[in-house]
């Protein structure tokens, strides 16, 4: 886990500079570059999004930031995550595509498991569980078990569990991609409300351009093979937003155009 105290880093929470990551090819064993000199930063209270095609390296980058995947400094680049609380190490929350709940524990105990493993004082557990279950619209579900909940409700528990540790950075890896579109749409609206109320700092990965524009303050556009950030776009549209707002819609069209020009150029290069 990359760590640092917040000594003079202002409102920066995540700083990735020229980060390169290589993996060995499973067939030949030869190393190939997955992430090529990636730079991005996430500021406190901001919602940053990375959009890129399937397989480009988005999860790899998020896993490196979370400390789940290694980064060999000799490949190049640096990564810093800064703590903005009294905690010595920055707190990192993670929401995956699947809820990944412990099915033999109640909703409340799933959350307590995370709170305890983050070393959060027992005095705060009940308050945190109740507060964040309310925030995701699951008040009263404390004693229920995950398998009695729909996929969307399970994902809400996963979000409540991640928010409850009050992370310096909340990493979200395509958290709505396994939900049906109607449920996903509702979840995006609810997440926007959470952004307005609690102002968490989020780095959110998606391949859904409309979702990125609807939710994010800053969008990093990633190409593939190897992954490079080829453009950054700021979304200066006040919340609450609607997907059909003309500004949102125009930005989505701009992203589509940008992606196709870059990916078409890559296809031509590849012959
Ligand atoms: N541990 C590993 N060893 C070797 N190659 C890997 C490893 N993990 C991922 N890769 C490769 O790195 C590339 C990027 O994978 P990654 O899962 O980060 O992409 P992604 O953008 O998250 O894709 P998706 O949108 O499908 O989730 C892929 O080519 C993948 O096969
Ligand atoms: Mg992925």
For residue 222, give the ligand 1 atom closest to its CA: 21
User: In this structure, is residue 181 part of a structural domain?
Assistant: no
For residue 61, give the ligand nearest its CA: 1
User: In this structure, is residue 234 part of a structural domain?
Assistant: yes
For residue 97, give the ligand 1 atom closest to its CA: 27
Tens-digit pLDDT string for the chain (271 aa): 555 555 568 999 999 999 999 999 888 989 999 999 999 999 999 999 999 999 999 999 999 999 999 999 999 999 999 999 878 889 999 999 999 999 999 999 999 999 999 999 999 999 999 999 999 999 999 999 999 999 999 999 999 999 999 999 999 999 999 999 999 999 999 999 999 999 999 999 999 999 999 999 999 999 998 999 999 999 999 999 998 899 999 999 999 999 988 877 776 676 5
User: In this structure, is residue 68 part of a structural domain?
Assistant: yes
pLDDT of residue 223: 94
The domain in which residue 77 lies consists of 1-91+205-271
Residue of 66, 139, 59, 42 whose CA lies nearest to 97: 59
pLDDT of residue 192: 97
Cα separation, 225 vs 100, in Å, equals: 29
Burial class (CB in 10 A: 0-12, 13-18, 19+), 154: buried
User: In this structure, is residue 187 part of a structural domain?
Assistant: no
User: In this structure, is residue 112 part of a structural domain?
Assistant: no
User: In this structure, is residue 100 part of a structural domain?
Assistant: no
Contacts of 147 (CB under 8 A, 6+ apart): 103
Q: Residue with structure tokens 């700092």?
A: 201
**How crowded is the C-beta side of 192, counted as CA atoms within 13 Å?**
20
Does ligand 1 come within 6 angstroms of the Cβ of 21?
no
pLDDT of residue 263: 76
User: In this structure, is residue 23 part of a structural domain?
Assistant: yes
Does ligand 1 come within 6 angstroms of the Cβ of 206?
no
Number of domains in the chain: 1
54 C-alpha vs ligand 2 centroid, how far in Å?
7
CATH number of 34's domain: 3.40.50.300
Burial class (CB in 10 A: 0-12, 13-18, 19+), 9: middle
pLDDT of residue 31: 93
For residue 24, give the ligand 1 atom closest to its CA: 4
pLDDT of residue 72: 93
Burial class (CB in 10 A: 0-12, 13-18, 19+), 31: exposed
User: In this structure, is residue 142 part of a structural domain?
Assistant: no
Assign residue 231 a region: left if phi > 0, alpha if psi is -120 to 50, beta otherwise? Answer: beta
């Amino acid at each position: 886990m990359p760590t640092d105290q917040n000594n003079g880093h202002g409102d920066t929470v995540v700083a990735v500079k020229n980060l390169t990551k290589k993996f060995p090819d499973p067939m030949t064993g030869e190393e190939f570059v997955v992430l090529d000199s990636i730079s991005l930063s996430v500021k406190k209270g901001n919602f940053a999004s990375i959009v890129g095609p399937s397989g480009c390296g988005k999860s790899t980058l998020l896993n490196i930031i979370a400390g789940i995947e290694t980064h060999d400094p000799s490949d190049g680049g640096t990564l810093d995550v800064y703590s903005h609380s009294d905690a010595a190490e920055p707190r990192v929350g993670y929401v995956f595509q699947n809820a990944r709940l412990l099915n033999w524990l109640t909703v409340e105990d799933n959350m307590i498991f995370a709170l305890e493993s983050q070393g959060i004082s027992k005095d705060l557990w009940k308050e945190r569980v109740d507060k964040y279950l309310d925030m995701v619209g699951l008040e009263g579900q404390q004693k229920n078990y995950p398998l009695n909940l729909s996929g969307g409700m399970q994902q809400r528990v996963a979000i409540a569990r991640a928010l409850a540790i009050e992370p310096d950075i909340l990493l979200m890896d395509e958290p709505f991609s396994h939900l049906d579109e109607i449920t996903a749409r509702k979840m995006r609206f609810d997440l926007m409300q959470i952004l307005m109320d609690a102002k968490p700092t989020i780095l959110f990965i998606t391949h859904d351009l409309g979702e990125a524009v609807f939710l994010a303050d800053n969008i990093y556009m990633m190409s593939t093979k190897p992954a490079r950030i080829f453009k950054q776009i700021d979304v200066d549209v006040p919340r609450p937003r609607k997907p059909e707002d003309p500004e949102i819609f125009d930005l989505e069209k701009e992203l589509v155009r940008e992606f196709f020009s870059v990916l078409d150029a890559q296809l031509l290069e590849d012959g």
